Amino acid sequence: MPELPEVEAAARRLRAAAVGRVIRAARTFHDAARRALPDRDAAQLAGRRVVGVRRLGKHQAIDLDDGSTLHAHFRMTGDWDVGRDDAPLPPHARVALSLDDGTRVALAGARVLDGVRGHAPGAAPEPRLGPDALDPARDGAALRAALRGRRAAVKPALLDQRVVAGGGNIYASEALWRAGIDPRTPAASLGPARVGRLADAVRAVLHDALDAPGRYQDGEALERLRVYDREGEPCVRCGAPVRRTVQAGRSTYYCARCQKR
């Protein structure tokens, strides 16, 4: 499920459910989940009050009242399930936090690449991230500075979290389509005007997704995507067939006619 809009929506649900609540118990349900959050760390969560939930790119930081932090990441398949503590666990539940008001938040993800890990006070839980994709300060000038000196094509560069924290594979294709930029263009060769358009497009596609209900595996959300997973279909802007290529091992979709180098 998770690109930035879905992570943002999930973080809002978690925030509404958990901030101000005290964790009664934390449980893990999979070896990989215990690797990330050993029983010892999980046990220490009991009695901690949740004081805040922050989204950092596609990462989430759950701040606790002793200054420690839980760091969550959905990777490919994670999501928060919020429900009553006595309700059945969702499929693929990996970690569950029982709260003092009888609710339970569970991290569920089929591929088990997602996880929660604990961090002591003062530890820096998050990897080095660039400016957030939705941060208005991440304008064309900032993006251009981040792309300076990069030999790589612009599309894989947009997936580098140090360039765009929260960048993801689907919306990278969508933003480049909207900006009219060929995804194979060397990142550093883009001029200020085009990078400015790209910076605007990145924010625009993410805001569109945030404002619209549903996730991109739902039909309605998929229909909003202009090029992603539309190989062979006519470009909705110019009619030329959408093409698919692979960059850095990830699918890229683009229009060869109206996206220019």
Assess 112 for contact with DNA (CB under 7 A).
yes
Q: Which stretch binds DNA (CB under 7 A): 36-44, 132-140, 204-212, 213-221?
A: 213-221
Assess 88 for contact with DNA (CB under 7 A).
no
**Nearer to DNA (CB atom), residue 159 or residue 256:** 159
Q: Does residue 3 have an active-site annotation?
A: yes
Note whether 98 and 23 are within 8 A (CB).
yes
Assess 212 for contact with DNA (CB under 7 A).
no
**Nearer to DNA (CB atom), residue 14 or residue 99:** 14
- Long-range contacts of range 244-250, CB-CB < 8 Å, 24 or more positions apart? 245/183, 245/184, 247/153, 247/155, 247/156, 247/183, 247/184, 248/152, 248/156, 248/159, 250/156, 250/159, 250/169
Assess 55 for contact with DNA (CB under 7 A).
no
Assess 251 for contact with DNA (CB under 7 A).
yes
Site string for DNA, 139-178 (x = CB under 7 A): -----------xxxx--xx-x-x-----xxxx--------
Q: Does residue 250 have an active-site annotation?
A: yes
- Long-range contacts of range 157-163, CB-CB < 8 Å, 24 or more positions apart? 157/187, 158/202, 159/248, 159/250, 160/130, 161/57, 161/58, 161/127, 161/128, 161/129, 161/130, 162/128, 162/129, 162/130, 163/130
Contact residues toward DNA (CB under 7 A) are: 1-3, 6, 31-32, 57-59, 73, 75-76, 92, 110-113, 127, 150-153, 156-157, 159, 161, 167-170, 187, 215-217, 247-251
